[in-house]
Amino acid sequence: MKKLIYTGIFICMAMSLFGQSYVEGCVYEDLNRNGRRDKKEKGIARVAVSNGIEVSQTDASGKYRLPAGGDFIVFVIKPAGYQSALDEFNLPQSYYRHKPAGSPESFYQGVKPTGTLPASVDFALYKYDEQEAFTALLFGDTQPYNEQEVEYLKRGVIAETQPVQGLSFGITLGDLVGDRLDLHLSYKQAIKQIGIPWYNVMGNHDMNYDAKEDHFSDETFEAHFGPNNYSFNYGKAHFIVLDDVLYPHPLTGNGYWGGLRDDQLAFVKNDLAYVPHDRLIVVSMHIPLIDSEGEEAFRDADRQELYKIVKDYSHVLFLSAHTHFQEQHIIGKEQGLDRENPIYEYNVGTACGDWYSGILNDKGIPVSTMRDGTPAGYAFLKIEGNQYVLVYKILGRPEDYQIALYHPQALPFRQATTASLYANFFMGSPADTLEYRIDSGKWMKMQRVEEFDPAYYRYVQDWDYLDDLPPGRRPSNPIVCKHLWKSKIPTTLPVGEHRIEVRAKDRFNRMYTSESIYRTKN
C-alpha cells in the first residue's frame, strides 16, 4: 500500500480541521442492492476512500479509517468495474455528509443537521459490466435563470440526448443554474430524464453569495449534490472533479477568482497516489486554466502546482466551461508544464449557448449561438483504454456538421475584392489544418486567424437593425474566435456558379468537410 502524501501546509490544515477523531467503516459488495450490508456480503479490498483531503485504501476485509472532524464529507472513490447506488435523480450516492450543526445560515438552504457521526460509515458498491471503451456526455453551463429556461434545457439538449444509446455517464461542467439555487431541484429533475449516472461540477453561479469564506460557498450545492471535490474510476480512466472557484476573491474580497485551495491540491496529490501512471486522467473544472482573453482569471501558483501533480501521467485531459465560447488550449513548456508532450484543455461550448439568447427556432427554443460563432450544443468524450477523442455536437444538426462557411454569394468577375472565405471549425485547435479548393481544383491551405466570426457579427447587427423587438433576448456582442480560418476567394474564374470545398484535419486525424456555392458575375 502506498503511503499518503502530505505537505507541511496540509499537516497544519488537517490538525486544525480534524482534531483527533476518526471516521471508519466498510466498503462492501451489495449483492442484493438493498443499500445495507447483509451477513453474506463481503468487504472489497483496495478501494480508495477520502475525507476530502486524505485518501486511504480499504484493507483485505474492506475496512477503512480516516481523520474526521465537525464538518466534512467522506466519500468512496468508485473503482472500475463497480457502481454506487443512484438516487432518484441518477446521482451517485457515494458519500456521507457529517455536519452536526448543519450549514451556516444563508439565503438559500444548505445541509440540515446530520447528528452524531455513526460508529461505522459503510459504502455499498455493486459489480457493473464496465467496458474500457465507453462514451461520456459533457454539458457546458446549463445555467437556467428561471423555470422558462429550464424548459428550454429540457426541450433542447436533454430531449436530443435522451434517446442516444451507449452513454455510460454524464458530467455538467459547472453553472448548473444561474444564481437561483432553488432551481437546483428543477435542474436535477431535468437531467434525470437522460437516464444515466450524472456527475456535477460546481460553478460560480452555483455558489452561496452570502458566504464569508470559500469553504462555505458550496453549502446549497452540497445539500443537492454532495462533495464538490471528488473522483471516480471508469475503465482505464480516472476522473477528478474540482471546484476551482475561489469565493470571495482572496485578494479583493469582491467577486471570485479561479484557483484551488491547498486542501484541494492535497486531495488531488493524495488521490493520484493510488492511480497507476498508465491511466488516463480527466480533470473536470468550471473555470478554464488558460484564459485566452488576456485576463488573469486563474491563480497562477495553483495552476503550476496542478501541472506538477499530473506531470508524470502521460495521458491527461483538462475539461472546463464557464466562458460561453469554445476553445482548445495546448498546455506545454511555455505555460509551465515540465514535460515534453503537451496537455490539452478543452473549454467546452455551453448547453445554454449564449445564455438562451437570440431568435427562437422552429421548436420555440432560443438559437443562442455563442459569441465566437459556435452554436449551442454538447460534447461526447469517447475513451478507449487510456486514449480519448472529443466530439462537439451542435444542437439540432448532424454530428458531422463541424464547419460553418462564410463568404460573398456573388463577386464581380476579374475585379479586385477585399472579401474572403472564412471557415469556423467549431472544435478547431492550433494543431489542426484546414484546406480549401474551388471546383475540384488544387487543395490550398487556409490561414488560422483571430478575428470576429463574420457570420455571428452580421447576426448581431441584423438584430440591431430590426424595427420591432423580436421574441427573445438580444445576442451578446461578438468576441475574437480562436478556431477561425481564412483565405482569399478568387474572382478570375469564369462567370457562373462555383463550388467551394473546405476540409479540416484535426488532432485526432479525423477529416471533416463543408461545401458551399458562390457566383462570379459581369
Q: Give yes or no for a contact between 216 and 240, defined as CB atoms under 8 angstroms apart.
A: no
User: Nearest-CA neighbor of 186 among 218, 228, 145?
Assistant: 145
CA atoms within 13 A on the CB side of 435: 10
How many angstroms from the chain centroid is the CA of residue 402? 20
> What stretch of H or E contains 240?
strand 237-241
Q: Residues of the chain with pLDDT > 90: what percent?
A: 92
Q: Which residues are CB-neighbours of 11 under 8 A, at least 6 positions away? A: none
pLDDT in tens, 430-464: 999 999 999 999 999 999 999 999 999 999 999 99
pLDDT digits (tens, 9 = 90+) for 148-165: 999 999 999 999 999 999
pLDDT at res. 292: 72
Contact between residue 229 and residue 243 where contact means Cβ atoms under 8 Å apart: yes
Asked if 283 contacts 269 with a C-beta cutoff of 8 angstroms, the reply is: no
* Domain range annotation of the chain: 8-125, 403-521
Q: What is the pLDDT of residue 296?
A: 84
DSSP3 helix / strand / coil % (the chain, rounded to 5): 15, 30, 50
pLDDT at residue 439 in the model: 97
Q: Whose CA is closest to 429, among 344, 514, 307?
A: 344
Is residue 405's pLDDT more than 80?
Answer: yes
Residue 324 CB coordination number (10 Å): 25
Residue pair 140/288 in contact by the 8 Å Cβ criterion: no
HSE-up of residue 509 (Cα within 13 Å, Cβ side): 1
- What confidence category does residue 4 fall into, taking pLDDT thresholds of 50, 70 and 90? very low
- Strands 377-384, 167-172: pairing kind: unpaired
| 156 DSSP assignment | I
- Does residue 242 contact residue 284 with C-beta atoms inside 8 Å? yes
Q: List all residues 6 or more positions away from 396 whose beta carbon is below 8 Å from its beta carbon.
A: 160, 361, 363
B/e letters for 201-239, b = 16+ CB within 10 Å, e = fewer, are bbbbbbbbbebeebebbbbbbbbbbbbbbbbbbbbbbbb
Choose among 208, 158, 151: nearest CA to 182: 208
Tell me which residue of 183, 194, 114 sits closest to 154, measured CA to CA: 194
Copy the grid coordinates of residue 298.
486563474
Task: Quickly tell me which residue has 424595427 as its cell.
Answer: 467
Contacts of 213 (CB under 8 A, 6+ apart): 248
The strand order across the sheet containing 48-50 reads 55-57, 48-50, 72-76, 95-98
3-state secondary structure 474-502: CCCCCCEEEEEEEEECCCCCCCEEEEEEE
What's the chain's average pLDDT?
A: 94
- Enter the pTM of the model: 0.94
CATH architecture of 403-521: Sandwich (2.60)
Bigger pLDDT: 78 vs 39: 78
How far is 194 from 345, CA to CA, in rounded Å?
26
pLDDT band at 469 (very low <50, low <70, confident <90, very high): confident
CA distance 200 to 208: 16
Contact present, 299 and 259 (Cβ < 8 Å): yes
pLDDT digits (tens, 9 = 90+) for 46-96: 999 999 999 999 999 999 999 998 899 999 999 999 999 999 999 999 999
**Exposure on the CB side of residue 491, measured as CA atoms within 13 A:** 16
pLDDT tens readout for residues 306-336: 999 999 999 999 999 999 999 999 999 999 9
**Concatenated DSSP letters for 423-442?**
EEETT--TT-EEEEEETT--
- φ/ψ of 206, rounded to 5, equals -110, 10
Q: Are strands 167-172 and 198-200 parallel, antiparallel or unpaired?
A: parallel
- Please provide residue 357's backbone torsions phi and psi, each rounded to the nearest 5 degrees: -105, 175
- Extract the C-alpha cell encoding 245: 472557484
- Residue 283's DSSP bridge partners are 240, 318
- What proportion of the chain, given as a percentage, has pLDDT over 70? 96
Q: Evaluate whether 124 touches 30 at the Cβ level (below 8 Å).
A: yes
The strand ranges marked E within 37-132 are: 48-50, 55-57, 63-67, 72-76, 82-84, 95-98, 123-127
Residue 6 has pLDDT above 60, yes or no: no
Burial class (CB in 10 A: 0-12, 13-18, 19+), 53: buried
Q: Are strands 377-384 and 133-139 parallel, antiparallel or unpaired?
A: antiparallel
Closest CA to 125 of 75, 53, 50: 75
CATH number of 8-125: 2.60.40
